[in-house]
């Protein structure tokens, strides 16, 4: 990795030391963030190809390119990679690491060595996930949710996949712990809690979910491993266990995990809207407290995944009610982002395009989430393609587009170079079109009764399936366009100034790329985070 | 809202905060098992009553006392290093490690006895028991097993602390590692304080 050619700053975090080992042993939060970025990108591309393969299989009814068993294996590893390796660490591990210390005026995170250790734990988990595919025996085919009794009985490499998820969870906990302590202890003088930018705030809410919810999935996966290896059958009805109990324990973590994915994306767009409107964020406090409210209420809605699994009526309406409540803070945020743009000098650059499409896709995902959270409509749509479309609108349309917004926003800061804006705009247009062509038909297919996770379907679904498969190709073309633009310009792009977007948060006040220790002298914060007094707003 | 100072090194408060957060995650890890215990106990109250009678409350109580005393010695060791008495600190850590060994030995005999009665998951005897008793013994082995693993990890941690005390790397000024090791040891103790009544006393 040779970045010596960057002339803007003679010595920065990219070139102050060179060689592969200087990266693999670096405790610099920015380098660790990039390590995460590269590993996540590789896994994302692999899992996206797997997704495309599934869509090719579904282009026509019947077996086209793979058997049913292969399809089961592919949707399982697609889910495991996307959820545990890409989306959950995603924004926090990449942009949280690179930017959190800079945005609060610190030299590094609270525990730099632990931070590097987390990356190694993460890579170990990711490699175990790969190993489950190539080890002797059958590839795991239980879906990323590992529902018992199937996952406890089936003869495939489930134990390896469970261990992978356990190890990845451990990495997630350590990152969350590091961020909480960093935010509590490392803020620059004058950076009070409510002078902190909104991305760090969202990371703070996320980190609490990470450390409070992840241990539950850890012990739950251990219980399934114990059931498979030691015959301790807490979920095995033949021994008196309860399979529905597994679903409860699983979703106690995995629903809050949805907020681990989406909250940092909300933080990212909360940074982008003020910068590209050159206007203070509308409703700073409501955004802060809605993040905390989402983290809190999101902890108690897990039952809405199990409306058809057998629960008392009281439990069901309680979970349904809370599901509707958790939509309120999200709606507050959407309202605030739109109001931030209102009356601002809106500059439609790629980061803002991605941020606006985030709102569009997230809103569709959110409303269909309410459809699923209603007791009556849930019966109709449960386990159909409607669910798949809904969570791809949230996870990919929300977190994914938030991630793309973040990389386009902070790219010139990280590399000191600018990507091709026109190229980025075109890639965005293809990506956005492909996304909707791919996932929107799945809502309709789901309503018509197309079950999820089936490799074959009734010929009456063919039109929708075909449109959806075509969308997958468009989406992949958009992804290739976007990623190649970014990769190509890391070394060949035009030199970016320190503050190309006229942002006002701390990261824009230092050179691009940032120096090894971020700040020459400790910054002193004397005002709120989003005060625009540059000539562009006067 | 107070502002925090800008620090370049891991100071004691920062390090301790990280440790406390980690201890929360440990509690939540066991929390998942406590949920399973609560659900299963509600489902099979009679079987849990019968199965709990199999456990030897005397050994359980002995181990509780052993762990409580070890928590005291590890705390005393910390006070000793704060008063700049490294040799006493080393001695007290050593006693803590001995007590940890006693705890594990009791555990070994206890588990060994269960195994000799063929009371372990998947055994032929276990399969003939009522469902609730199978669940109870499953929980017993998983909870005490996971706890024993934590005793071992805590023991390793305290051994490292002992050697660092010997080499002077932990001293009157810098004893964060020892403090965190002691905190971890208290967690091991605390979890046992919950396991003991749940498994041995509530019959």
Q: Has residue A185 been placed in a domain? A: yes
CB contacts, 8 Å: A231 with chain B: 121-122
Express each pLDDT in A390-420 by its tens digit.
999 999 999 999 999 999 999 999 999 999 9
Q: Are A129 and A123 in contact (CB under 8 A)?
A: no
The residue among A225, A223, A146 whose CA lies nearest residue B37 is: A223
B16 min Cα distance to partner chain A (Å): 10
Strands (E), chain B: none
CB contact burial A359-389 (16+ within 10 A = b; e otherwise): bebbbbbbebbebbbbeeebeebbebbbbbb
CB contacts, 8 Å: A185 with chain B: 4, 7, 13-14, 17
Q: How far is CA A379 from the centre of its chain?
A: 28
Is the predicted pLDDT of residue A535 greater than 70, yes or no?
no
CB contacts, 8 Å: A211 with chain B: 21, 24-25
Distance CA B199, CA A345 (A): 66
CB contacts, 8 Å: B125 with chain A: none
Mean pLDDT for the stretch of residues A358-381: 92
Over the Cα atoms of chain B, what is R_g? 20
Q: Are A319 and A229 in contact (CB under 8 A)?
A: no
Q: Give the CB-side neighbour count of residue A63, counting CA atoms within 13 A.
A: 7
Q: Which residue has the higher pLDDT, A17 or A81?
A: A81
Residues 241-260 of A with CB under 8 A from B: 241-242, 245, 248-249
Mean pLDDT for the stretch of residues A260-276: 93
Chain A nearest-CA residue for B124:
A231
CB-based contact B39 A105, cutoff 8 Å:
no
Chain B nearest-CA residue for A517:
B8
Question: Could you tell me how many helices (H) and strands (E) chain A has, helices first?
Answer: 18, 2
Task: Give pTM, 2 decimals.
Answer: 0.90
| Least CB–CB distance from B39: residue in A107, A190, A245 | A245
Burial of A480 (0-12, 13-18, 19+ CB in 10 A): middle
CB contacts, 8 Å: A215 with chain B: 25-26, 28-29, 31-32
Tokens of A480: 């290739």
Backbone angles phi, psi at A308, to 5 degrees: -100, 5
Query: Percentage of residues in chain A with pLDDT exceeding 70?
Result: 97
| Least CB–CB distance from B44: residue in A193, A214, A240 | A240
CB contacts, 8 Å: A111 with chain B: 10, 18
Q: Has residue A306 been placed in a domain? A: yes
Is the predicted pLDDT of residue A104 greater than 70, yes or no?
yes
| Least CB–CB distance from B14: residue in A107, A181, A248 | A181
Tokens of B202: 């509530």
Place of tokens 């934590």: B150
Question: Could you tell me the CA-to-CA distances from A303 to A117, A312, B65, B194 in Å, in that order?
Answer: 34, 11, 41, 28
CB-based contact B3 A187, cutoff 8 Å:
yes
Mean pLDDT for the stretch of residues A359-363: 94
Burial of B6 (0-12, 13-18, 19+ CB in 10 A): buried
Distance CA A219, CA A148 (A): 15
| Least CB–CB distance from B4: residue in A114, A187, A233 | A187
Mean pLDDT for the stretch of residues A180-197: 92
Chain B nearest-CA residue for A246:
B36
| Least CB–CB distance from B29: residue in A105, A111, A215 | A215
Question: Could you tell me the CA-to-CA distances from B197 to A528, B114, B137 in Å, in that order?
Answer: 52, 19, 15
Q: How far is CA A130 from the centre of its chain?
A: 20
Q: Has residue A326 been placed in a domain? A: yes
Residues 151-210 of A with CB under 8 A from B: 173, 177-178, 180-181, 184-194
Indicate which CATH number applies to the domain containing A304: 1.20.210.10
CA dihedral A402, A403, A405, A409 (to 10 degrees): 130
Q: Has residue A216 been placed in a domain? A: yes
Per-residue pLDDT of chain B (203 residues; tens, 9 = 90+): 333 444 444 688 888 999 999 999 999 999 999 999 999 999 898 888 888 888 888 888 999 999 999 999 999 999 999 898 889 999 999 999 999 999 999 989 888 888 888 888 878 887 888 888 888 888 999 999 999 999 999 999 999 999 989 888 888 888 889 999 999 999 999 999 999 999 888 87
Chain A nearest-CA residue for B3:
A192
Q: Has residue A334 been placed in a domain? A: yes
Q: Has residue A215 been placed in a domain? A: yes
Choices 1.20.1290.10, 3.30.70.260, 1.20.120.80, 1.10.3720.10: CATH for B55-201: 1.20.120.80
Express each pLDDT in A142-152 by its tens digit.
888 988 888 88
Residue ranges per structural domain of chain B: 55-201
Q: Has residue A264 been placed in a domain? A: yes
CB-based contact B14 A185, cutoff 8 Å:
yes
pLDDT for position A138: 85
A219 min Cα distance to partner chain B (Å): 6
Q: Which of B125, B138, B180 to mutate to test the interface with A (most CBs of A within 10 A)?
A: B138
CB contacts, 8 Å: A192 with chain B: 1, 3
| Least CB–CB distance from B32: residue in A105, A181, A249 | A249
pLDDT for position A481: 94
Q: Which of A109, A185, A187, A221 to mutate to test the interface with B (most CBs of B within 10 A)?
A: A185
pLDDT for position A537: 44
Question: Could you tell me how many helices (H) and strands (E) chain B has, helices first?
Answer: 7, 0
Please state the domain count of chain A. Answer: 1
Distance CA A467, CA A443 (A): 12
Tell me the ipTM for this assembly: 0.88
CB contacts, 8 Å: B22 with chain A: 173, 177
**Domain with A248 in it:** 20-509
> Computed from CA positions of residues A112, A117, A121, A123, in that sequence, does the dihedral angle turn out positive or negative?
positive
The residue among A240, A230, A531, A96 whose CA lies nearest residue B129 is: A240
Mean pLDDT for the stretch of residues A482-502: 92
Q: Has residue A228 been placed in a domain? A: yes
């Amino acid at each position: 990795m040779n970045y010596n050619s960057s002339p803007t700053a003679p010595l920065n975090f990219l070139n102050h030391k060179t060689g592969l080992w200087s990266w693999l042993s670096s405790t610099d939060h920015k380098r660790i963030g990039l390590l995460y970025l590269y590993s996540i990108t590789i896994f994302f591309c692999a899992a996206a190809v797997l997704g495309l393969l599934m869509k090719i299989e579904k282009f026509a009814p019947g077996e086209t390119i793979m058997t049913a068993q292969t399809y089961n294996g592919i949707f399982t590893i697609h889910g495991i990679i996307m959820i545990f390796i890409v989306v959950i660490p995603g924004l926090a591990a990449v942009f949280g690491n690179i930017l959190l210390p800079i945005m609060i005026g610190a030299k590094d995170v609270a525990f730099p060595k632990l931070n590097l250790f987390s990356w190694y734990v993460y890579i170990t988990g990711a490699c175990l996930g790969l190993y489950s595919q190539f080890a002797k025996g059958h590839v795991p085919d239980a879906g990323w949710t590992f529902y018992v009794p199937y996952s406890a009985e089936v003869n495939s490499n489930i134990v390896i996949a469970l261990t992978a998820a356990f190890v990845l969870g451990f990495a997630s906990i350590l990152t969350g712990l590091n961020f909480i302590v960093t935010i509590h202890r490392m803020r620059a003088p004058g950076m009070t809690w409510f002078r902190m930018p909104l991305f760090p705030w969202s990371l703070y809410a996320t980190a609490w979910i990470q450390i409070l919810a992840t241990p539950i999935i850890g012990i739950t996966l251990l219980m399934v491993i114990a059931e498979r290896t030691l015959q301790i059958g807490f979920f095995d009805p033949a021994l008196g266990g309860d399979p529905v109990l597994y679903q409860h324990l699983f979703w106690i973590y995995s629903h809050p995990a949805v907020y681990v994915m989406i909250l940092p994306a909300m933080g990212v767009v909360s940074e982008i809207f003020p910068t590209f409107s050159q206007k203070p964020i509308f409703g700073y406090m409501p955004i802060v407290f809605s993040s905390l409210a989402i983290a809190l209420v999101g902890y108690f809605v897990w039952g809405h995944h199990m409306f058809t699994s057998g629960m008392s009526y009281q439990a069901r309406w309680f979970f349904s009610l809370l599901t509707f409540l958790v939509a309120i803070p999200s709606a507050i945020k959407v309202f605030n982002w739109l109001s931030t743009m209102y009356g601002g000098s809106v500059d439609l650059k790629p980061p803002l395009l991605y941020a606006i499409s985030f709102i569009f896709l997230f809103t569709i995902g959110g409303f269909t989430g309410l459809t699923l959270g209603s007791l009556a409509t849930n019966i109709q749509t449960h386990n159909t393609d409607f669910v798949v479309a809904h969570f791809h609108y949230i996870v990919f349309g929300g977190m994914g587009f938030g991630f793309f917004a973040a990389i386009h926003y902070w790219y010139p800061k990280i590399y000191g170079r600018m990507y091709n804006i026109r190229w980025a705009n075109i890639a965005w247009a293809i990506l956005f079109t492909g996304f909707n062509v791919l996932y929107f038909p799945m809502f309709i297919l789901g309503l018509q009764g197309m079950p999820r996770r089936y490799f074959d379907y009734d010929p009456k679904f063919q039109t929708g399936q075909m449109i959806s498969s075509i969308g997958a190709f468009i989406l992949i073309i958009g992804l290739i366009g976007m990623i190649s633009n970014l990769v190509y310009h890391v070394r060949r792009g035009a030199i970016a100034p320190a503050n190309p977007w006229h942002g006002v948060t701390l990261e824009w006040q230092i050179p691009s790329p940032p120096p090894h220790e971020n700040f020459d002298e400790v910054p002193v914060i004397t005002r709120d985070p989003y005060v625009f007094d540059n000539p562009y707003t006067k | 809202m107070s502002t925090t100072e800008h620090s370049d090194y891991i100071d004691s408060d920062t390090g301790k905060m990280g440790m406390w957060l980690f201890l929360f995650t440990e509690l939540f890890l066991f929390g998942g098992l406590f949920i399973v215990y609560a659900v299963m106990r509600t489902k099979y109250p009679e079987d849990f009553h019968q199965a709990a009678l199999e456990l030897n409350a005397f050994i359980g109580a002995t181990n509780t006392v052993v762990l409580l005393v070890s928590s005291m010695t590890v705390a005393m060791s910390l006070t000793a290093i704060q008063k700049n008495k490294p040799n006493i600190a080393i001695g007290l850590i050593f006693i803590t490690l001995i007590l940890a060994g006693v705890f594990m030995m009791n555990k070994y005999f206890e588990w060994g006895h269960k195994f000799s009665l063929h009371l372990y998951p998947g055994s032929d005897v276990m399969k003939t028991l009522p469902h609730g008793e199978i669940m109870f013994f499953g929980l017993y082995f998983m909870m005490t097993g996971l706890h024993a693993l934590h005793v071992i990890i805590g023991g390793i941690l305290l051994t490292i602390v002992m050697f660092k005390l010997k080499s002077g790397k932990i001293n009157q000024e810098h004893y964060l590692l020892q403090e965190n090791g002691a905190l971890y040891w208290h967690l091991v103790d605390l979890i046992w304080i919950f396991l003991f009544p749940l498994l041995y006393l509530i019959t």
